[in-house]
Amino acid sequence: MIRLHNFINGRFQAPASGQYLPNDSPANGQVYSEVPDSDQRDVEEAYQAAARAFQDWGRSSKQFRYEMLMRIADGIERRFDELAEAESKDNGKPLWLTREVDIPRASANFRFFATALLHFDAQVHSMEGQALNYTLRHPLGVVGCISPWNLPLYLFTWKIAPALAAGNCVIGKPSEVTPYTAYLLSEIVAEAGLPAGVLNIVHGLGGKVGQALSEHPGIPAISFTGGTATGAQIARTAAPMFKKLSLELGGKNPNIIFADANLDEAVRMSVRSSFLNQGQICLCGSRILVERSVYNEFRDRLVAEAKKIKVGHPSNPEVFMGAVVSKPHMEKILAKIETAKQEGGIVLCGGERAYPGGEAEGGYYVAPTLIENLSMDCSTNQEEIFGPVATLTPFDTEEEALALANSTRYGLAGSVWTENIHRAHRVAARLHSGFVWVNTWNLRDLRTPFGGMKDSGVGREGGFKSFDFFTEAQNVCVKIEGY
Ligand code: NDP
């Protein structure tokens, strides 16, 4: 049994409660680690350490912070195999995926924001001889970073790296469902020589640790990625205290496939956008809208590809889908599929738990599921499922496609598939979502603004947007006489 520790003030320590939570591997359902069940006392201790550390870190040179972050990136790369295996075991996702995406991206996040820092500077606005304005950007102090379980180290570092680069000290709270790589990161950070208290990692439940961070009067900003309901709870707590909030929340993203699209590519990418990471990516295309004249052809080809997907133990290099993250989450997905049937949905493939057997015995697997014959206003098409489940719906016109695509409370991402360049631009601009892909999906440039509209969130992260969030702007206006 592996026992994880909190990382506070540069030390590995037990939670104040002395209690631990069991953590299982979704691949076989076996408990293999114990996670600190921390509470407000641990958050307070972390806060005191971070506030002390901020006295120096907040005034340190960019070069010093750059070097520290690059050393952390080096440490991630040195322990690449261990991290990739840990993430796969903790989350249930295929090992090839953690090796190709999660862990490379975690070190890339540190390198990207370390180097971006060197290019981030004050802006100047000249008032034609009357005055000169310059806008300084100050770090905020001690910030809270709360991340979900679907891309554990990837999203944790996506927040921590820019926060640290901008000169803040951080209290990070990973999801208690997938805490392992965040724990390994605390070892890497200690090895890299980051000054004590600059980064603190407090493990535990959202209702205790996350809530304590949102409530803490000394923490002026929370960067949160997770579900929309949790985001609303954080906003209720933090907004009256005038905290800065970056909320990256849920999605119910449309893939819009027009008849003139390259159908080979549209089918290939719809398989990925529906089922990559077991459908547990906020950007997954869970509503596939297809122009009626090619609907049957597209559907039949997509279903044929989905049926070929191999579901199995995450360590098997041949599987495309591993386990979903937990037993309760698997049960939630299966219940949503039952609801879809009650709403009149026809299950074209999957629709049930998968039992790959062997070393996957006891794990939480769901077969890739495609459903048609649902109205757009039913709950299956309106509520996030966050699993390997997508619906198919035909449309007749561009207007109808847009109306269907924009008809949910979410507005995170969408993809448009057409060979008509005019239509591509027109439809992209009219989609109510923070992110639109044309003839591709999930192609990411870390410099671009990332975030959602409507109930998918508030604010944008990525590139200098992250630095804007993690700093406070201060304009200094200097009058010039006799110019
Ligand atoms: P949750 O909202 O359940 O949890 C996210 C994090 O918040 C966890 O660390 C959780 O802790 C914590 N938390 C829970 N309650 C509180 C609280 N009251 N105060 C503060 N923190 C709290 O999301 P999931 O982990 O289930 O992640 C899946 C969700 O994340 C999906 O809705 C998905 O769409 C969204 N997501 C959004 C992305 C985006 O960029 N827009 C990217 C990735 C995912 P605990 O684990 O203990 O509950």
Task: List the CATH number of the domain containing 376.
Answer: 3.40.309.10
For residue 150, how far is its CA from the centre of ligand 1 (angstroms)?
A: 9
Q: Is 248 a catalytic residue?
A: yes
Per-residue confidence (pLDDT) for residue 128, from 0 to 100: 87
Per-residue confidence (pLDDT) for residue 325, from 0 to 100: 98
Are 212 and 312 in a shared domain?
Answer: no
CB 409 within 8 A of CB 279: no
Does ligand 1 have an atom closer than 6 angstroms to the CB of 393? no
Are 223 and 275 in a shared domain?
Answer: no
3-state secondary structure of 197: coil
For residue 398, how far is its CA from the centre of ligand 1 (angstroms)?
A: 34
Does ligand 1 have an atom closer than 6 angstroms to the CB of 207? yes
Per-residue confidence (pLDDT) for residue 34, from 0 to 100: 98
Are 244 and 282 in a shared domain?
Answer: no
Torsion 101-363-326-19 (CA) sign: negative
Per DSSP, 422 falls in state H
Per-residue confidence (pLDDT) for residue 200, from 0 to 100: 99
Per-residue confidence (pLDDT) for residue 460, from 0 to 100: 97
Nearest CA to ligand 1 atom 31: 227
CA 395 to CA 16: how far, in whole Å? 57
Are 431 and 472 in a shared domain?
Answer: no
Are 288 and 156 in a shared domain?
Answer: no
Are 180 and 32 in a shared domain?
Answer: yes
The number of distinct structural domains making up the chain is 2
Does ligand 1 have an atom closer than 6 angstroms to the CB of 227? yes
Does ligand 1 have an atom closer than 6 angstroms to the CB of 234? yes
For residue 288, how far is its CA from the centre of ligand 1 (angstroms)?
A: 25
Does ligand 1 have an atom closer than 6 angstroms to the CB of 154? no
Are 403 and 306 in a shared domain?
Answer: yes
Q: Is 284 a catalytic residue?
A: no
Q: Is residue 82 part of a domain?
A: yes
Q: Which of 39, 150, 153 to mutate to test the pocket of ligand 1 (most atoms within 8 A of CB)?
A: 150
Are 245 and 316 in a shared domain?
Answer: no
Q: Is residue 443 part of a domain?
A: no
Per-residue confidence (pLDDT) for residue 122, from 0 to 100: 85
Are 223 and 279 in a shared domain?
Answer: no
Does ligand 1 have an atom closer than 6 angstroms to the CB of 238? no
Q: Is residue 481 part of a domain?
A: no
For residue 378, how far is its CA from the centre of ligand 1 (angstroms)?
A: 24
For residue 230, how far is its CA from the centre of ligand 1 (angstroms)?
A: 6
Nearest CA to ligand 1 atom 9: 175
Q: Which conformational region is residue 193 in: left (phi greater than 0), alpha (psi within -120 to 50 degrees), or beta?
A: left
Q: Is residue 483 part of a domain?
A: no
Alpha-helix runs per DSSP H in 211-262: 211-215, 228-238
Per DSSP, 334 falls in state H
Q: Is residue 445 part of a domain?
A: no
Per-residue confidence (pLDDT) for residue 482, from 0 to 100: 82
Does ligand 1 have an atom closer than 6 angstroms to the CB of 299? no
Nearest CA to ligand 1 atom 13: 206
Domain residue limits at 34: 2-249+456-476
Can you list the residues of the chain whose pLDDT is less than 70? none
Q: Which of 145, 169, 282, 284 is catalytic?
A: 282
For residue 149, how far is its CA from the centre of ligand 1 (angstroms)?
A: 7
Nearest Cα neighbor of 216 from 224, 208, 205 is: 208
For residue 22, how far is its CA from the centre of ligand 1 (angstroms)?
A: 19
Q: Which of 85, 176, 248, 461 is catalytic?
A: 248
Q: Is residue 451 part of a domain?
A: no
Does ligand 1 have an atom closer than 6 angstroms to the CB of 219? no
Q: Is residue 448 part of a domain?
A: no
Does ligand 1 have an atom closer than 6 angstroms to the CB of 457? yes
Q: Which of 181, 225, 455 to mutate to test the pocket of ligand 1 (most atoms within 8 A of CB)?
A: 225
Q: How far is CA 64 from the centre of its chain?
A: 28
Q: Is residue 450 part of a domain?
A: no
Does ligand 1 have an atom closer than 6 angstroms to the CB of 394? no
* Residue 392 main-chain phi, psi, to 5 deg: -120, 135
Are 243 and 131 in a shared domain?
Answer: yes
Q: Which atom of ligand 1 is nearest to the CA of 148?
A: 25
Taking the whole predicted model, whether its pTM rises above 0.95 is answered as yes
Are 232 and 262 in a shared domain?
Answer: no
Are 269 and 220 in a shared domain?
Answer: no
For residue 224, how far is its CA from the centre of ligand 1 (angstroms)?
A: 8
Strand partners, 101: none
What CATH number is given to the structural domain containing 464?
A: 3.40.605.10
CB 56 within 8 A of CB 209: no
Per-residue confidence (pLDDT) for residue 129, from 0 to 100: 83
Q: Which of 236, 282, 446 to mutate to test the pocket of ligand 1 (most atoms within 8 A of CB)?
A: 282
Does ligand 1 have an atom closer than 6 angstroms to the CB of 248? yes
At 174, the amino acid letter reads P
Q: Which atom of ligand 1 is nearest to the CA of 231?
A: 2
Does ligand 1 have an atom closer than 6 angstroms to the CB of 177? yes
Nearest CA to ligand 1 atom 35: 226
Does ligand 1 have an atom closer than 6 angstroms to the CB of 350? no
CB atoms within 10 A of CB 449: 15
Strands (E), 295-426: 346-349, 353-354, 365-366, 369-372, 389-395, 410-411, 413-417
Q: Which atom of ligand 1 is nearest to the CA of 234?
A: 19
